[in-house]
Amino acid sequence: MPACPAGPVAVADVAIIGGGLAGLTLALQLRSLDDSLDIAVLERNNWPMPDAAHKVGESTVEIGAHYLADTIGAAKLLQDTQLRKFGLRFFFGSGNHDDLARADELGASRLLAVPGYQIDRGRLENDLAARAVAQDVRLLPGAVVRKVELAEGGGKNRIFFEHGGGSAQLECTWVVDAASRASVLKRQMKLNRESTHRVSAAWFRLDHPVQVDDWSGDTSWKGRCLELNRRHSTNHLMGSGYWVWIIPLREDRTSIGIVADSAMHPAGDYNSFDKSLRWLEEKQPVCHERLRPHAGSLMDFRMLRNFANDCGQLWSPKGWALSGEAGVFADPFYSPGTDFIAISNTFIADLITRKRTPAQLQFESMVFEKIYRSFLSSTMSLYRDLYPGFGDARLMALKSTWDFAYYWSVLALLFFRGCMTDLPTVKRLEPVLTRLQQLNLSVQGAFRKRAGQRLASPGEGRFFDQCRIPVLVRLNRNLVEPQGSVDRELASNAQTLEGLAPALLELLDGKQAGRSYPTDELGDLRQRLG
């Protein structure tokens, strides 16, 4: 790399490269923890961002929504400026019918206790940037980072960047790269690691409100959803080896995405807008029929091949860290992107703000990375070699029930209770957490075996109502209604999961679940599949 020219040198305690969602939320989180920190955010683009900026991460689930609303303090902002999300909704066999009511549907008839949001990233990031400026965070729009010199022997990190038509430098104690896939630090330190999860995605936005509820004239089907219409959900059209997302944005815009196993559905088949429409015409003709008349409202298109990525190291006691997609990215299925921003930022903020000896910092940064990678491993187990089964309604009704129950029982519980960086508590809970992680791997193994059959449901008009699966309603509600100490809650959740697993696997095998799970916690699953 050529040497960067000298220029004026600024100083900060923390410099964050990237002023998107990960960088701005980290700046605000740091400010809430230590109002004495001098924080600078270097962003390549200029503010304000355009509304509906074309970024992945338009849909949040429980951890990400809780982080934005409570940790960052943006609850009112979300309520006033973003769309309330009506959960994740899945359709099976939709490609076989000209009426969506004839597909099998998995989703909720009412809102569950913990809110989620459909995010207009441009608008949210503009609002967060304004909030950061109001809290004395220095924002440098139009700052193009060329190089980072990391400190040696306790010195300062130095960032070389272009800004305002000239060259500049910034010295800092901590440098955090939150610049997504453009990460300077990750490239410079050769930290990128390829993932064996080979899945690609293409997505585009239309300046048009795609109303999934209009895809059928069946009044009883329309009446299933009692508080919001289906447009407010993250809608998934499921097929063997792929899924299609339909996400509402503000101002009556819609995000459409195709995500597919690269071996089963070559990315070259849908790597342009026209090809994507032809692909949808073959796989999901009703979707194609509804989108085609509005092709002229196309706002943009983007393609990302084999998007999963890993990283050799995420943070260091020497004063650097990677956050969000600059570090790792798993898969957009189940909308975990903002969750991993929340978790990585929480670890990074703790490393930066809590007073430690150098030895403690060395040890705890290593432990935090181990914990983070354990969560990442559990998340990746939800996806690896499971795309072939995505068109199988029986498999996915059972798998999603398990995946939601496990997520709310373990990872979401720890985050909602503020335990992620509480090492004595994590240490105390470790035996139960390890046992549950092994249980999850075993259950995913059974799902993976079924997925290998590549079954695709024809669609029978069934509705799997998550509001009529009591175990899901209870675990979701408990996140915002604590049931005693976190030790007690995790023990109770472990008991639930250890009973739920064999019952779901009995249903997977076509058996009547009951002997191993005598309560009626399965509700609609037992009724539809038993």
More confident residue, 528 or 15: 15
pLDDT tens string 227-242: 999 999 999 999 999 9
The pLDDT of residue 74 is: 97
Does residue 125 carry a pLDDT above 80? yes
Cis peptide upstream of residue 388 (ω within 30 degrees of 0): no
Closest Cα partner for 327 from 302, 301, 347, 355? 347
Q: Give percent helix, percent strand, percent coil of the chain, each to the nearest 5.
A: 45, 20, 35
The pLDDT of residue 57 is: 58
Does residue 519 carry a pLDDT above 70? no
Virtual CA dihedral for 331, 336, 338, 341, nearest 10 degrees?
A: -70
Across the chain, which distance is largest between two alpha carbons, in Å? 73
Virtual CA dihedral for 347, 414, 113, 245, nearest 10 degrees?
A: 60
Q: Where does the pLDDT of residue 527 fall: very low under 50, low under 70, confident under 90, or very high at 90 and above?
A: confident
Q: Where does the pLDDT of residue 520 fall: very low under 50, low under 70, confident under 90, or very high at 90 and above?
A: confident
CATH pick for 1-82+119-195+308-354 out of 2.102.10.10, 3.40.50.720, 3.50.50.60, 3.40.630.10: 3.50.50.60
pLDDT tens string 443-486: 999 999 999 999 999 999 999 999 999 999 999 999 999 999 99
Alpha-carbon 459 to chain mean position: 28
Report DSSP state, residue 59: B
How do strand 242-249 and strand 144-149 relate by DSSP bridges? unpaired
Rounded mean pLDDT of the chain?
A: 94
pLDDT tens string 258-313: 999 999 999 999 999 999 999 999 999 999 999 999 999 999 999 999 999 999 99
More confident residue, 2 or 383: 383
Alpha-carbon 205 to chain mean position: 19
Mean pLDDT of 496-521: 83
The pLDDT of residue 10 is: 92
Question: With a threshold of 0.85, does the pTM exceed it?
Answer: yes
The pLDDT of residue 451 is: 98
Mean pLDDT of 82-99: 97
Does residue 6 carry a pLDDT above 50? no
The pLDDT of residue 5 is: 43
Helices (H), 2-86: 21-33, 62-66, 75-81
Mean pLDDT of 34-45: 97
